[in-house]
Amino acid sequence: MRIFIANQIAAFTAMLVILLAVIFAAVHGLY
Amino acid sequence: MRIIYFGAIWIAVFLLLATAPLIVLLMAPGQPGREFWREFSVALAFAGLSIAGLQFIITARLRYLTWPFGLDVVYHFHRRLMIIAVFLILAHPTILIITDRTTLELLHPAFSPWRTRFAVLALGAFAFQIVTSVWRLNLGMRYEPWRITHNIFAILAVGLAVVHAIGVGHYMATPTMRSLILILAILWLGLILYVRLAKPNILKRRPYKVTKVVQERGNAWSLYLEPDGHPGMRFHPGQFSWITIGRWPDGITGHPFSITASALNSGRVSHTIKALGDFTSQIKHIAPGTPAYLDGPHGSFSLDRHVAPGYVFIAGGIGITPIMSMLRTLADRCDSRQLLLIYGNKTWEGVTFREELEDLKGKLNLEVVHLLEEPPPGWEGESGFITPQLLSCRLPENRMEIEYFICGPPIMIDVAEKSLLALGISMERMHSERFQLV
């Protein structure tokens, strides 16, 4: 159970930072 | 509920810190934008570096931080995160090279600027960390040298990457990013100093003394310790501690072992250790009176956190140790709840605590089911491995209301959890302890 949750949080972290990186690049890199 | 709240707060703080550089960049970029892929790769690298830096906090064994989750899961989380962080960091040069081939010219030894050299060294250090951690046993690396190199390369990798970012200067030249990196660097450095200097000093002031070493069945040895000049530590049955024997408790050379003593033992503790490796094979040679230091207690694998009308324990081999602490504590508490222990071993002669478990059956409402891989001739008990059929026959009728504690080799834990799930037991009622922290 705890391992499952840890894996989910790790995967969520990866998706969150990639999403933020895309938003940043789209907002800032497409001036 | 307190555990859930604390866990949720720590996860939120972690996510905030992991994304902090990206949030700062989004809110106050401070520099003119460049093309999409360059900005995307830079953002990924900052995120990867931030996650990598956070590992100094995650692996610092701060008890207030780890107790909602259990240290075994925290280390599992650390391994997963570092693989993600290194992928994010590697994506940075990969995207730059794919989208702009002139980037490759920066790697030419004759023209390479120092910031690029730092980046290459940082990538090498990160790659070294992943390879030596994931394949440590395949590479034949012993635990202690690995711990030392792992700590050194962690600082090197993050330090070199920060110097590279400062060298590039684009976003690092902005006051907000400079302030953020400065705050994070102070935090990382502070934690390194705490773990390597302050904590060993605290442990040094709370020494223990080996009172005896007793041989157990199954090539295991029980190490008995008593506090030397202090009341000892309070722990919950099922928890573990890091043990350093006879030397400065530097936080690197300690080894984690489950406490097998009763939690009501007034400061005295015992750990039962199977002779499997370099350190564990030396336990039998430790002389009474030898000083020892305990970093702990750690771990969330304890029935004290899960009140239930009964408990089922599933142990494989030396995985009995934390369960033994729970059983001894329950006996000392005169607990009358229904208990079932399913205990798998290779041979009957190698069943650690075999005789004491028989004694405990007289003190507790305990049923013990021995499961042998190689049963002796005439054996009438269970044989083979954990299966849904075995559990279905053996579990009590109130199986949906009780809690399950599983400890043993990872493959046994996986099989036991899947078997319990197949019987309709909810995942929330299963608690496991995975010994293999590294």
Amino acid at B193: L
Amino acid A31: pLDDT: 57
Amino acid B1: pLDDT: 59
The percentage of chain B sitting over the pLDDT mark of 70, rounded to a whole number, equals 98
Per-residue confidence at B438, pLDDT binned at 50, 70, 90? low
Per-residue confidence at B281, pLDDT binned at 50, 70, 90? confident
**Minimal Cα–Cα distance from B421 to chain A, Å?**
11
For B1-41, write each residue's pLDDT tens digit: 577 888 899 999 999 999 998 998 888 766 777 888 999 99
Q: Which residues contact B240 (CB under 8 A, 6 or more apart)?
A: B71, B256, B257, B258, B259, B296, B297, B298, B299, B322, B433
B/e letters for B19-49, b = 16+ CB within 10 Å, e = fewer, are: bbbbebbbeebeeeeeeeebbbbbbbbbbbb
Q: Kindly give the pairing relationship between strand B220-227 and strand B269-274.
A: antiparallel
For B192-250, write each residue's pLDDT tens digit: 888 888 888 989 999 999 999 999 999 999 999 999 999 999 999 999 999 998 877 77
**Minimal Cα–Cα distance from B85 to chain A, Å?**
8
Report the Cα B323 to chain-centroid distance in Å. Answer: 18
Of the residues B36, B38, B71, B437, the best mutation for testing chain A's interface (the one with the most A CB atoms within 10 Å of its CB) is B36
Amino acid B430: pLDDT: 93
Is the Cβ pair B36, A25 closer than 8 Å? Answer: yes
**pLDDT at residue B151 tops 60:** yes
B:300-319 residues touching chain A, CB 8 A cutoff: 300
Is the Cβ pair A10, B300 closer than 8 Å? Answer: no
For B131-142, write each residue's pLDDT tens digit: 999 999 899 888
Is the Cβ pair A24, B39 closer than 8 Å? Answer: yes
Q: Hey, is the C-beta of B32 within 8 angstroms of any chain A C-beta? A: yes
Contact B342, B335 (CB under 8 A): no
Q: Hey, is the C-beta of A15 within 8 angstroms of any chain B C-beta? A: no
Q: Hey, is the C-beta of B229 within 8 angstroms of any chain A C-beta? A: no
* Average pLDDT in chain B: 90
The percentage of chain B sitting over the pLDDT mark of 90, rounded to a whole number, equals 64
Q: Find, among B226, B221, B241, the residue nearest to B285 by Cα.
A: B221
Q: What residues of chain B lie within 8 A of the CB of A31, using their CB?
A: 32-33
Average pLDDT over residues B121-125: 95
**pLDDT at residue B166 tops 90:** no
Q: Hey, is the C-beta of B364 within 8 angstroms of any chain A C-beta? A: no
Say how many CB pairs under 8 Å bridge A and B: 94
Is the Cβ pair B84, A13 closer than 8 Å? Answer: yes
Considering CB atoms only, which of A13, A16, A23 is closest to B81? A13
- CA–CA separation, B120 and B124 (whole Å): 6
Which residues pair with residue B215 across a beta bridge?
A: B221
Is the Cβ pair A29, B22 closer than 8 Å? Answer: no
| A26: its two tokens | 């789209």
Element (DSSP H or E) covering residue B332: helix B320-332
Sign of CA dihedral B436, B204, B262, B357: positive
Is the Cβ pair A17, B77 closer than 8 Å? Answer: no
Considering CB atoms only, which of A10, A16, A29 is closest to B36? A29
Cis upstream peptide for B396 (omega within 30°): no
Is the Cβ pair A3, B33 closer than 8 Å? Answer: no
**pLDDT at residue B425 tops 60:** yes
Greatest mean pLDDT among B28-32, B178-182, B203-207, B364-368 lies in B364-368
Amino acid at B169: G
Average pLDDT over residues B341-363: 96
Amino acid at B273: I
